[in-house]
Amino acid sequence: MAEETDHGSGAVEPGDTSKRVGAEVIRERGVDPEELREKLIDAIGAEFTTYYYYTNLRMHLAGEEDYKEITEDARLEDRAHFELVVPRVYELEGSLPNDIRDFADRASCPDAEVPTPMDDDGGFDTSDLDVADILEVLLEAERCAIRTWSEICDLTREADPRTYDMAQRILNEEMDHEAWFIELLSKERDDEINPAGHFARGEPGDAPYTKNNPFNDSA
Amino acid sequence: MTQTPTATWTVTIVVPETASLDAAGETFDLDVGEDETILAAARSAGVWLPADCQQGWCTTCVARLVEGAVVHPNARRYYDEDREAGFVLPCTAKPRADTTIVVGRDDEFLDFRAAHDRPPGNSKRDT
């Protein structure tokens, strides 16, 4: 009979449930898992607020069914990005803020508000609301997301393949979104043909890279 | 028709020894045009400064203004008290004079924003 030996090695004692090897291996590779986790909360805060704000932006593309459809794809995919990464925050021993106002305040991208003032009755003053202005808000929101997830790719490359995989999947879709809104804004504002090179998703918000169920049923 | 040349300023970027950046301990002098952001000029010159949104919102890039002058025409979340306290956001800051900044001030700035009940410090710091 083999001599009984302890299992495990490194900074986590055998049987210790107060630490996670899944976090310690990241630390061993030079990335602070707590700092990474906080950046992830900021980044998915932006995905969540964008999902909310895109609802309003889509609504106000009245009569522009093709623009609404593309905006809906981006809206649902931003929610998919939030859903994809939430479990990772908890794996890294974090949590979502209890107060949604805190979550929105720390979002790493600006609020993507409908670009029009409110009227005297508390509704949107749509008298001068311009489709091109809405498309520009959408475009700049996507650009912020591209920058944010690129930074997370940089931070996790060669240190945390699990988060890196999530971030690069999200980045794929954010780059799709930027291409869509460049095409639409170019046509709407400048009457220029500036193709995205894409066609619409198969289903609204298909999220071909990030919908978490196909590769992570437990999430 | 002639175009008016744009002004160019010397921006000195000081990276403290204690900064968790590859360039810790180094100082860089860059020529930055009046229509250019300090962050974009730095990255174009191979000086990698931290930033996320690049829209003057997240504050990841925050720096201290030591001397000179900048404007933030496109910053989405930059308050009067930030300016009065000498904080700048290089991602949207454009020089208006020869300028020196110290980068890597994000922890200090989150405390400052929290003390003024401003985001994102107020949601990231226990006050």
Whole-number percent of chain A with pLDDT over 70: 92
Average confidence score pLDDT of chain A:
92
Contacts with B124 from chain A: Cβ below 8 Å: 38, 106
Band of residue A219 on the pLDDT scale cut at 50, 70, 90: very low
> How many Cβ contacts (< 8 angstroms) between chains A and B?
51
How do residues A128-147 score in pLDDT, each as one tens digit?
999 999 999 999 999 999 99
This complex has an ipTM of 0.93
Q: Do B53 and A110 touch (CB under 8 A)?
A: yes
How do residues A69-109 score in pLDDT, each as one tens digit?
999 999 999 999 999 999 999 999 999 999 999 999 999 99
Number of domains in chain A: 1
> Please, what is the Cα angle at B38 between B34 and B39, to 5 degrees?
145
- Segment B84-91 shows an average pLDDT of 98
> Please, what is the Cα angle at A203 between A138 and A86, to 5 degrees?
65
Residue B3: inside a domain = no
Q: Do A109 and B119 touch (CB under 8 A)?
A: no
State the pLDDT at residue A218.
52
What range does the domain containing A94 cover?
A: 30-110+129-190
Q: Residue A74 sits in a domain of what CATH number? A: 1.20.1260.10
Report the first-to-last Cα separation within chain A, whole angstroms: 41
Q: Do A151 and B52 touch (CB under 8 A)?
A: yes
Selection from B67, B30, B33, B66 nearest residue B49 by Cα: B30
Separation of alpha carbons A105 and A46, rounded Å: 9
State the pLDDT at residue A164.
98
3-state helix, strand, coil in chain A (%, to 5): 55, 0, 40
Q: Please give the torsion angle defined by the CA atoms of residues A152, A155, A158 and A164, in that order, rounded to the nearest 10 degrees.
A: -10
CA A60 to chain centre: 22
Separation of alpha carbons A69 and A211, rounded Å: 18
Residue A170: inside a domain = yes
Q: Do A140 and B58 touch (CB under 8 A)?
A: no
Q: Using H for helix, E for strand and C for coil, what is the string for chain B?
A: CCCCCCCEEEEEEECCCCCCCCCCCCEEEEEEECCCCHHHHHHHCCCCCCCCCCCCCCCCCCEEEEECCEECCCCCCCCHHHHHCCEECCCCCEECCCEEEECCCHHHHHHHHHHCCCCCHHHHCCC
Selection from A179, A181, A178, A176 nearest residue A206 by Cα: A176
* Tokens representing residue B52 in the block: 């996320």
What range does the domain containing B102 cover?
A: 8-124
Whole-number percent of chain B with pLDDT over 90: 91
CA B57 to chain A, closest CA, distance in angstroms equals: 6
Separation of alpha carbons A81 and A109, rounded Å: 14
Residue A64: inside a domain = yes
Number of domains in chain B: 1
Residues 6+ apart with CB under 8 A from A130: A115
Q: Tell me if chain B has a CB within 8 Å of the CB of A28.
A: no
Q: Residue B51 sits in a domain of what CATH number? A: 3.10.20.30
Q: Is the predicted pLDDT of residue B3 greater than 90, yes or no? A: no
State the pLDDT at residue A201.
86
Residue A69: inside a domain = yes
How do residues B26-85 score in pLDDT, each as one tens digit?
999 999 999 999 999 999 999 999 999 999 999 999 999 999 999 999 999 999 999 999
